[in-house]
Chains A and B, each alone.
Chain A
Amino acid sequence: MAASTVESDLGNVDAPEAQVAIRSLSKSYGDLNVLVDVTIDVAKRDVLVLIGPSGSGKSTLLRCVARLEPFDAGQLWIEGHLVALGEKSKGDGAELATPNHQKRLRKEVGMVFQEFNLFPHFTALRNVALAPERVLGLDRDEAENRALVLLEKVGLAEKAHEHPARLSGGQQQRVAIARALAMQPKVMLFDEVTSALDPELVGEVLEVMRELARDGMTMLVVSHEMQFAADVADTVFFMDQGSIVETGSPDQIFHEPHEDRTKAFLQRLLAR
């Protein structure tokens, strides 16, 4: 039921070719503009890193892409399908963003959170196997096998039968990554996934992310880890107060930022 042309207040729009297309996304809470006309095209296998001060809207943007939050205006396309439309947007594109449609396409996006959010009453294995079993319809054994393989991949196969409370922060986060990967998403979102970790545990998580990038996963990452961005990112976006201030390759942004705000932010960050 995919339309390749959609009528909306943005005029007749052709489905974008990018794997994830964020078009003119805007969102505000009363007077506060959280997101202002954000447009980003994410190509397959791209690794995008979003940096910026807190309150700049980076996390909100990710949550909008994950369809955890509605937005006021703009469009969200994933793999050529319009999956979400701003609530205030007109046009018959609105029917395409129906709940059923959303449900089907929710599996295309995986998300890992700053606070891990593992289900505390399940073992690591069940955390990873639950969604494939219930959503993708795998039977119990298939789901658990897939879960074991993924836990192996993130280096935690021997912890499969532990509960999250017995795992370190870094281990919990790696399980969270495995859990998201179990749904075989096309795009992975990472929301400051290392910010809540003790410094010595950050490395193991970044390593898993690096490997994912090497394997060709499309990734949208919000992070303060500059080294990681420099190593792995294809594009870096600097956001401030809800809009994208500057875009470029990691080299460009970190070493030769154009905008003053970008420079100021990087200075504060590197001074730490």
Chain B
Amino acid sequence: MEFDLGPVVDRIPLLLEGLGLTLGLTALAFVAGGLLGLPLALSRMLPNRWLRLPVTMLVESTLSTPVPLHLFLVFFGMTAAFGIFISPFHSILLVLVWNQAVVMSENYRSGLQSVPKGIRAAASVLGLPTIDRYRYVILPLAIRAILPPTTSSTVNLIKDSALAGFIGANDLLNAGRLGATESFRPIEFYTVVAIMYFVISYPIVWFSDRVEHKMSRSRAA
């Protein structure tokens, strides 16, 4: 078995183009999803049960069904049923944004709830008004709790971005596949692509480990 990286090197521009799309998709979905997750999380903490229910159902359905299915549902289903054509890029973007929003809303909720009741009570007894309680005590602690799951959510986002190839969008994996079929060298191409995915994901994990380490000196023992 010879390992010849020549064809891969030849197609570097192709791979980089794919990488660009992957990174772009991820960044957009991260921001849009992160923002959309906030109203989702807040509406699940409303007192009224009938306001909470639809959002809860949406969230649970999303979390209990596979992302590829969401993708096909949007890309094929919308066109067939409603005649709306959504481009491959927009389909994958929509699906990624929605999934990220749902996952982040869960992270926000659990992060907020992880702030111990006793600490809230202490802030309350000291007479801190609600705004200050949240600003100085509850939110800083909640954010520290939200960060770790957010990292894994982001890595999952990068992973799911690779679904773009399923419907023809030209992301990193698809670029690899094109290169592999053209040059009949699947091993080299897929190995390189796998390494590239690893390379873009690992820094996020490493970064979050560092941040957690820095914050652990200020967390309760």
A–B contact at 8 Å CB threshold (below): yes
Chain A residues within CB distance 8 Å of chain B: 63, 66-68, 103, 106-107, 109-111, 113, 115, 117-122, 130-131, 134-135, 163-165, 176, 179-180, 183
User: Once the chains are docked, how many angstroms separate the CA of A187 from the CA of B217?
Assistant: 34
Give, as a whole number of angstroms, the nearest-CB distance from A266 to chain B.
30
- Chain B residues whose CB sits within 8 angstroms of the CB of A176 once the complex forms: 122
Is the pair A180, B126 in contact by a Cβ cutoff of 8 Å?
yes
How far, in Å, is B156 (CB) from chain A's closest CB? 28
26 CB contacts below 8 A, A to B, read A66-B125, A67-B125, A68-B121, A68-B125, A103-B127, A107-B127, A109-B125, A110-B126, A113-B118, A113-B122, A117-B118, A117-B122, A118-B220, A120-B141, A120-B219, A120-B220, A130-B136, A131-B127, A134-B132, A134-B136, A135-B128, A135-B132, A164-B220, A165-B219, A165-B221, A176-B122
Knowing that A118-B220, A135-B126, A164-B221 are A-B contacts, what are 20 other residue pairs whose CB atoms are under 8 Å apart, sorted by A's residue number? Answer: A66-B125, A68-B121, A111-B122, A113-B118, A113-B122, A117-B119, A119-B123, A119-B136, A120-B119, A130-B128, A131-B127, A134-B129, A135-B127, A135-B132, A163-B217, A163-B218, A176-B122, A179-B122, A179-B126, A183-B126
Chain A's nearest CB lies how many Å from the CB of B121? 5
Give the residues in chain B near A110, CB-CB below 8 Å.
125-126
Complexed CA–CA distance, A131 and B129 (Å): 10
Asked if A121 and B144 make an inter-chain contact with CB atoms under 8 angstroms apart, the answer reads: yes
Interface residues on chain B, number (Cβ under 8 Å): 23
B116: chain A residues within 8 A (beta carbon): 115, 117
> When chains A and B are docked, how far (Å) is the Cα of A75 from the Cα of B220?
37
B137 interfacial contact with A, CB 8 Å: yes
Point out the residues of chain B lying under 8 angstroms from A122, CB to CB. Answer: 218
Closest 7 CB pairs of A and B: A117-B122, A120-B220, A131-B126, A117-B118, A165-B221, A106-B127, A111-B125
| Minimum distance in angstroms from A116 CB to a CB of chain B | 8
Per the 8 Å Cβ criterion, residues 92-129 of B in contact with A are 116, 118-119, 121-129
Give Cα A165 to B136, complex, Å. Answer: 18
**Given A117-B118, A164-B220, also A134-B128 (CB < 8 A):** yes
Which A residues are in CB contact (< 8 Å) with B126? Answer: 110, 130-131, 135, 179-180, 183
CB distance from A124 to the nearest CB of B (A): 12
Across the two chains, which residue of chain A brings its CB closest to B126? A131
Decide: A165 and B125 in contact? CB cutoff 8 A.
Answer: no
B127 neighbours in A (Cβ, 8 Å)? 103, 106-107, 131, 135, 183
B contact residues around A179 at 8 Å (CB):
122, 126
**Taking the complex as formed, is B140 at the interface, i.e. its CB lies under 8 A from any CB of chain A?**
yes
Do the beta carbons of B121 and A117 come within 8 Å of each other?
yes
A residues in contact with B219, CB < 8 Å: 120-121, 165
Chain B residues whose C-beta falls within 8 Å of the C-beta of A66 in the assembled complex: 125
Of B128, B141, B217, B220, chain A has the most CB atoms within 10 Å of the CB of: B220
What B residues does A119 contact at CB under 8 A? 119, 122-123, 136-137, 141
Residue of B nearest to A136 (CB): B127
- Tell me the minimal C-beta distance from A81 to chain B in angstroms: 15
Contact partners of B218 in chain A: CB under 8 A: 120-122, 163, 165
